[in-house]
Amino acid sequence: MNTLRTGILMALLTGLFLAVGAVIGGGTGVMIAFVLALATNLFAYWNSDKVLLSMYGARQVDAVSEPGLYGLVQRLAAEAKLPMPKVYITENPQPNAFATGRDPDHAAVCVTTGLLAQVNQEELAGVLAHELGHVKHRDTLTMTMVAVMAGAISMLANMAFFMGGDRRNNPLGLAGMLLVTLLAPVAAILVQAAISRSREFEADRAGAEITGRPLWLASALGQIERSARGIENYPADANPATAHMFIVNPLHGGISGLFATHPSTEERIARLRAMAGANAAPVRKGPWG
C-alpha cells in the first residue's frame, strides 16, 4: 500500500511539474519542463550521494580507521542480505544519521560524531538498521528524486510568476496561472512531506526486523530527538531540502503538521514498542563503544 501511495504521489509531483511548465509556455513549456525534469533527475540519480556527502563534509571510514562502527554495519548488512555499503562519519555535534545512494550496490550510510558520542551499541545498531531499511526499500533514490522535483517545481513557479507566463497559450487564464504559480510549490512540499513520512515508518519497521530488537531503535529515537532539539545542525539549516534524509528532523523552528518531513517521534516509538511486545528485554545503558 505504501509503495502504491508513493507512486501516486510521485505522479502528482510530475503533474505539478508539467502544469507549471504549461503556465510558462503552453505546449512548449510542457516539453521544456519535461526535459528539465529528466535532466535534473538524471543528475540526481548519478551524483546525489556525492553531493550530499560533500555538503556535510563526511569522511569515509573503513575496518582499519573505525573497526567498531564498520564491523557493526557489516554485520547488519549481512543480516539484511544487502551488499556492504560505504560508511561515513560527519563532524557534527547533533546526534543523527542518514543513508544515500541510487541503489543497494551504491549505498552509503553516514552517522554524526554526536550520534556516536550519545548512544550505546544496541541503539546505534537500531539506527544503522533503520538506514539500511531505507537502502533495502530503495528509499534513498525515491527521496532524492522527490527533493529534486520539489525544488525544480518551486524554481519553475518562481520563473512563471516573475516572467508572467504565456497568457495566450495558457488554458487556465490569468487567475489559473496565478493559482498554479502560487500553490504549486506549496503542493510540492506537501507531497514531499507525505512521501517522507510514510517511508520513515517503513524504515523503522525494516530496521526493527533486521536487528530483531525494536526497542533498540525506539530507545535511540527518544534519545536523538531530545538531544537534537537543543543542538544546531548548521549544514542542515543551510540546506533544508535535505532534512528529510535524516532519521530525525535536524532543523529547528520548522513548520510542523502537514509540512513535517518526519512523523512524530512519539508515534514512531509507540509503533516500535507495539512490535516488541510486553515481554521484550529492556535496552542496556552505557556508551556504544
HSE-CB for 262 with a 13 A CA cutoff? 22
Helix axes 173-211, 139-163, angle to 10 degrees: 160
| DSSP states along 42-107 | HHHHHHHHHHHHHHTT-EEE-TTT-HHHHHHHHHHHHHTT-PPPEEEEE--SS--EEEE-SSGGG-
C-alpha 222/C-alpha 37 separation (Å) is: 38
Active-site residue 266, yes or no? no
At residue 126, the 3 state secondary structure works out as helix
The DSSP bridge pattern shows strands 59-61 and 86-90 to be antiparallel
Which position among 122, 123, 131, 225 bears the catalytic label? 131
Query: How many other C-beta atoms are found inside a 10 Å radius of the C-beta of residue 43?
Result: 12
CA gap 191, 9 in Å, rounded: 6
How far is residue 203's CA from residue 205's CA, in Å, rounded to a whole number? 5
Cell of 154: 518551486
d(CA 144, CA 7): 14
Indicate which residues carry an active-site annotation.
131
